[in-house]
Amino acid sequence: MNAAARLEVRDVAVTFGGLHALAGVSLTAEPGTIVGLIGPNGSGKTTLLDAVSGIVALGAGTISLDDEDLADYLPEERVGLGMVRSFQDCALYPTLTVEDVLLLTEDARRPVSVLGTTLGLPGSRRREREKLASVDRVVASLGLDRFRHHRISHLSTGTRRVVDLASVVLAGPRLLLLDEPTAGIAQREAEAFIPLLRQLQQVTGSTIVLVEHDVGLVFALCTHVVVMATGQVVAVGTPDEVRRDPAALAAYLGASDEALHVSGTGPATNPATMDAPHPDGGNEP
């Protein structure tokens, strides 16, 4: 397991033309914590993840990982430092099985020469066994055993997202950036993501920064919560502190007390109990 990273964002600004997407944003994610970003649409949450992962350029400010300034690091170089990013669209190969998708992730991370594989050389066979063992571990830890040989296209949206998270685990993240992992999934499956994401953090030992509209999930899961509005941080603290913060209430929480309990108060659900897919692509009732 890799050591969790420390993320520090200081006075970051990002502009698109004349639009100030981020304006003086600062936050810190200490090693091994789970930090949740919440706020209305257009508040800059995803843009902040894009800035941290190097997808968009900074107009001002600094981003550092373990006190290393990332200004000169390309996105792929940040991956080499242990920064892993997930996206809302969860793009996976629909015709492949869960096992095949995860093995592809391992192939990308630990490539084996075509010649060695074709000739069945001992070193290549050993590495292939190691990859399969890694897939075995992540499938078991995230409750995907019964879906292992199902095609991606036959899975529910929630289960596809679990497969996406499994590929993240295989990448060995030190800092994990998650962009709305429960977007577009049924409420029953969203509730399962609280224990799932806790398990993900335990398995990887990583620091997690999470963008999520499900406020109940964020308050139940996260160590600290950051509330954003119009490209700025308006409140930050523990879930209890943010829940009582007048600025957070005014910016996002005040009109939706019920939202605080959407996914945060029900009994924990094992991700392995999610709806199972029928061979024709539908879900069991």
Q: Which fold has domain 7-91+170-273?
A: Rossmann fold (3.40.50)
The pLDDT of residue 34 is: 96
282: nearest Cα among 115, 154, 172:
154
What b-and-e string marks burial along 89-128, b requiring 16 or more CB atoms within 10 Å of the CB?
Answer: ebebeeeebbbbbbbebbeeeeebeeeeeeeeeeebeebb
Query: Over the stretch 177-218, which tens digit does the pLDDT of each residue have?
Result: 999 888 877 777 777 888 889 988 888 999 999 999 889 899
Predicted model pTM? 0.80
* Segments of the chain with pLDDT less than 70: 1, 88-91, 108-124, 254-285
The pLDDT of residue 181 is: 87
